[in-house]
Amino acid sequence: MSVRASEFAVLLAAQDEGWTVHFGVAAVAGLAIGLVVSWVLTRGARRLAATKADQLVDVARREAAVAAEEAKQRAEAEIQVRRAESNREFDRREIEVDLKLRELRSHEESLVILDRQMEQREERLSRETAAVRQARDAMRTLSKSLRRRLEGLACMDGEEIRRQLRAEVLSECEDELRALRREVLERSDQEVASEAKRILIAAMQRLASRPNNDLTATIVQLPSEEMKGRIIGREGRNIKVFEAATGVTLLIDESPQMVLISSFDPVRREIARIALEGLVLDGRIHPASIEEFVKRAQEDVGLQAQRSGDEAVQRLGINGLHPEVVKLLGRLKFRFSYTQNVLDHSVEVGFLCSIIASEVGLDPNIAKRAGLLHDVGKAVDGEYEGSHAHIGAEFIKRHGENAIVVNAVAAHHEEVAPESVYAGLVILADTVSAARPGARAESMTNYLQRLERLERLALSLEGVQQAFAIQAGREIRVVVAPQVVSDERARELAKTLRNRIEDELQYPSTIKITVIRESRFTETAT
């Protein structure tokens, strides 16, 4: 028992030592594990802290960038405000400087004017001083002459003195009368010429005509190329009906989306334009609709002509015109003469006639009436024969117009002898309105070139010495050599020049040709 007890004690002691060893090993292992866990946890915490730190730095950077952008925008806004204020201040200073400069220039101009006035006063004083000196010298000469004459008279009797005085007075009076007559005549001619120029210039300056384009063709735009086929129709039926109804020619070519209306009659061309635009807009194009739209267009053009005639009459303040005359007058709106609208030209001639008549003491109402109606014959249909002046005169005569106005209309191209001063007034106003440079959209260069061509054409004829285009190109005067050209040859030369002008030149209205053959023989007696 004691042996087993000792063995059991030994075994317990050995077991205690084993547990102690195992406990020590376990303690070391737990410590190692704790260190590893602690290192892992610490490393994770560090990574988490670093991530949070990076996020905070990124947020801080973004906030700093936003703050910097806001600060930049505020700075830019403030800079713009400062710049605007600076610009306003600069503009204000510039305006002030400009005003100061203007004031300085004004003062300089005033000083220049004062200097000029002073110079003029000095010149006037110099002239007056010279005149005083001359008068003083003349008085001295006269005094000496009078003294000599008195000395001579002292030796003459009374009858002899009277005869001498009578002869001297008659001689002085004759010289003064001749000088006075010459002065009065010269002054009268100058005053008449100056007054005529003043009246014409004042009349022209009070009017301003707007040139228009003279067209013989009108373009109508189409919505598509397919519309051309519809306008032509099957076998050309639609276009034939349209041309027959309107009296114009439709030109349909490869030009994109357009049709050309060609006619020398502007009224027919306008009717065709209105009708074709209505047909294109409606879309239904066949013979029945074509006739309907042409009829509507004719009515529209008639209303436009009536309205235009009424407006022209109202602008001039004319009363008592026959309605047919007013309607025919309105048709001139669609007519042109060398880019000048004929109705505008007629109104302008009416104003010119009225102004000139008022200046020279004539009745302005008759004058403006004749001026307005002078070209009305251009609107009469083509079946009437004769010039437009003759046709217009006959037309207004049939509608009860005044005989003075009828003659003025008939004679405004000098085809009929003028019977009153109003006819000459219409001729003058028509020339001023139609032939002055720029009235018919003609530049000064083209105007001068036309005159030069006219003169060169005259100078190209054999025997011509000089040629002068006058009256704004409406008359040319040709001076021939009398030794080379006889009277009969001069007459033939005028006809030849007329034919060449008609064949080779283009010109408004008419050109009068005057051939001058003159011989002068001068001798000097010594």
Residues contacting residue 191 through CB under 8 Å, at least 6 positions apart: none
Q: Residue 200: pLDDT band by 50, 70, 90 thresholds?
A: low
Model confidence at 338, pLDDT cuts 50, 70, 90, reads: low
Q: What is the CATH number of the domain that holds 292?
A: 3.30.1370.10
What is the pLDDT at residue 16? 60
Radius of gyration in angstroms for the set of CA atoms belonging to the chain, rounded to a whole number: 54
pLDDT at 436 over 60: no
Using 50, 70 and 90 to split pLDDT, how confident is the model at 433? confident
Alpha helix positions (H), 249-341: 266-282, 287-316, 323-330
Contacts of 399 (CB under 8 A, 6+ apart): 322, 324, 325
What pLDDT is stored for residue 124 in this prediction? 86
Maximum average pLDDT range among 198-212, 255-269, 484-498: 484-498
pLDDT at 197 over 50: yes
* Least confident window among 19-33, 253-267, 277-291, 406-420: 19-33
The pLDDT score that the predictor gives to residue 198 is 59
Residue 66 is assigned to a structural domain of this protein: no
Q: What is the reported pLDDT for 215?
A: 47
Contact 349, 371 (CB under 8 A): yes
Q: What pLDDT was estimated at residue 255?
A: 72
Q: Residue 50 has what pLDDT?
A: 84
The enclosing H or E element of 56 equals helix 2-153
How do residues 251-265 score in pLDDT, each as one tens digit? 877 777 788 888 777
Out of 305, 332, 348, pick the residue that ends a domain.
305
pLDDT of 467 over the 80 cut = yes
Q: Residue 336: pLDDT above 80?
A: no
236 assigned to some structural domain: yes
Distances (CA, A) of 268 to 74, 292, 311, 315, 429: 71, 16, 22, 27, 30
Per-residue model confidence as pLDDT tens digits over 4-32: 566 666 555 656 655 555 566 677 777 88
Q: Which pLDDT belongs to residue 34?
A: 80
Please check the confidence at residue 290 and state whether its pLDDT lies above 60.
yes
Q: Which of 7-11, 309-313, 502-506 has the highest mean pLDDT?
A: 309-313
Residue 246 lies in a domain: yes
Note whether residue 343 is domain-resident.
Answer: no
In degrees, rounded to 5, the angle at the alpha carbon of residue 455 between the alpha carbons of residues 450 and 461 is 135
- The parent domain of residue 287 ranges over 217-305
Last-in-domain residue among 256, 284, 305: 305
Segment 220-270, tens digit of pLDDT: 878 887 888 888 888 788 888 888 888 888 887 777 778 888 877 777 888
Cα 328 from Cα 411, distance rounded (Å): 20
**Would you say residue 285 lies in a domain?**
yes
Q: How many domains does the chain have?
A: 2
Asked, for residue 374, whether it belongs to a domain, the answer is: no
Torsion angle of the four alpha carbons 410, 412, 417, 420, in this order, in degrees rounded to the nearest 10: 100
Torsion from C-alpha of 167, 173, 179, 180, nearest 10 degrees = -170
Q: What CATH number did the domain enclosing 464 receive? A: 3.30.300.30
Q: How far apart are CA 475 and CA 493, in angstroms?
A: 15
Check whether 389 has a pLDDT greater than 80. yes
What local confidence, expressed as pLDDT, does residue 439 receive? 54
Q: Cα–chain-centroid distance for residue 149?
A: 75
Nearest by Cα to 248 from 234, 231, 226: 231
pLDDT at 212 over 50: no
pLDDT at 415 exceeding the cut of 60: yes
For the chain, give the percent of residues with pLDDT over 90: 1
Q: Let me know if residue 459 belongs to a domain.
A: yes
Q: What is the mean pLDDT of the chain?
A: 79
Mean pLDDT of 496-523: 81
Rounded to the nearest 5°, which phi and psi values hold at 517? -120, 115
Q: For position 211, what pLDDT does the model report?
A: 42
**Domain assignment present for 301:** yes
Tell me which of 277, 305, 333 is where a domain ends: 305
Rounded to whole angstroms, how far apart are CA atoms 61 and 212?
Answer: 74
